[in-house]
Amino acid sequence: MPPARRSRTASANPASERTELPALHLTRFLPYRLSVLSNTVSHTLAKLYEKRFGITIPEWRIIAVLGGGETMSAGEIAQRTAMDKVQVSRAISRMLDSALILRESGDTDRRKALLTLTPKALAIYAEIVPMALTYEEEVTDALSIDERAQLDTLLSKLQARADQLAARPAPAGAQAEAAGE
């Protein structure tokens, strides 16, 4: 792991003459850049959803995974949307209120509730998907075809690595833990 970093931005700050600290510029820091980009994109899109259909991002995600007409449990939805079960539970409860979703107790396992979109939600799905894809295309229009392929690769690799790092126990202190996972 070559810490090539270390752009000597000792710069012109007369106050601190610390020992060549590797300076960190937020605007070049990957987590920051991802956060800002993701926020910009999500926020823009969320306003579209909200204005037009009065739904939130969690609700939109649920509509997205159930939009094919499939039926699944809350747990499955949580997995597929990468939301946690609390978030899913709350979104579902809102959607029940606004008649976007239908819940019926499973017969074989009464813990699992089977969830299906109502026609109302399917109508939203039919309208929202083109909107979402259009927005996505508007964003990726900034890239060449090659670059889009690159983006796909990069995001996959980064996500895989980030997952890996997130899964490791507690790298902080002096915890000698087998990196089993």
Partner DNA sequence: TTGCAACAGTTTCAAACGAAACTAAAATGG
Partner DNA sequence: CCATTTTAGTTTCGTTTGAAACTGTTGCAA
75-94 binders of a second copy (CB under 8 A): 80-82
Partner whose footprint covers residue 170, from DNA, a second copy, none (CB < 5 to 8 Å by kind): a second copy
For DNA, the closer of residues 86 and 176 by Cβ is 86
What is the footprint of DNA within residues 93-152 (CB under 7 A)? Answer: 93, 108-113
Which partner from the list a second copy, DNA, none does 20 bind, CB cut-off 5 to 8 Å by kind?
Answer: none
> Which of residues 27 and 110 has its CB atom nearest to a second copy in the complex?
27
Greatest CA separation found in the chain?
72
CA distance 158 to 166: 12
The CB-of-181 to DNA minimum distance in angstroms stands at 13
Position 148, amino acid: R
Strand partners, 115: 72, 103
**CA angle at 13 for the pair 8 and 15, rounded to the nearest 5°:** 125
Name which position in 64, 73, 98, 135 contacts DNA (CB under 7 A).
73
- Residue 16 binds: one of DNA, a second copy, none (C-beta under 5 to 8 A by kind): a second copy
d(CA 104, CA 112): 9
Cα 15 to chain centroid distance, Å, stands at 41
Residue 26 engages a second copy in binding (rule: CB under 8 A) = yes
**Which residue lies nearer to a second copy by CB, 165 or 178?**
165
For residues 95 and 125, the answer to whether their CB atoms sit within 8 Å is no
Q: Give the count of residues interacting with a second copy (CB under 8 A).
A: 85
Binding test (CB under 8 A) with a second copy, winner from 96, 113, 114, 139: 139
Among residues 177, 82, 76, 61, the alpha carbon closest in space to that of 128 is found at: 61
**CB nearer to a second copy: pick between 166 and 178:** 166
81: helix, coil or strand? helix
For the chain, the C-alpha Rg in angstroms (whole number) is: 22
Binding footprint of DNA on the chain (CB under 7 A) = 56-58, 73-76, 78, 84-90, 92-93, 108-113
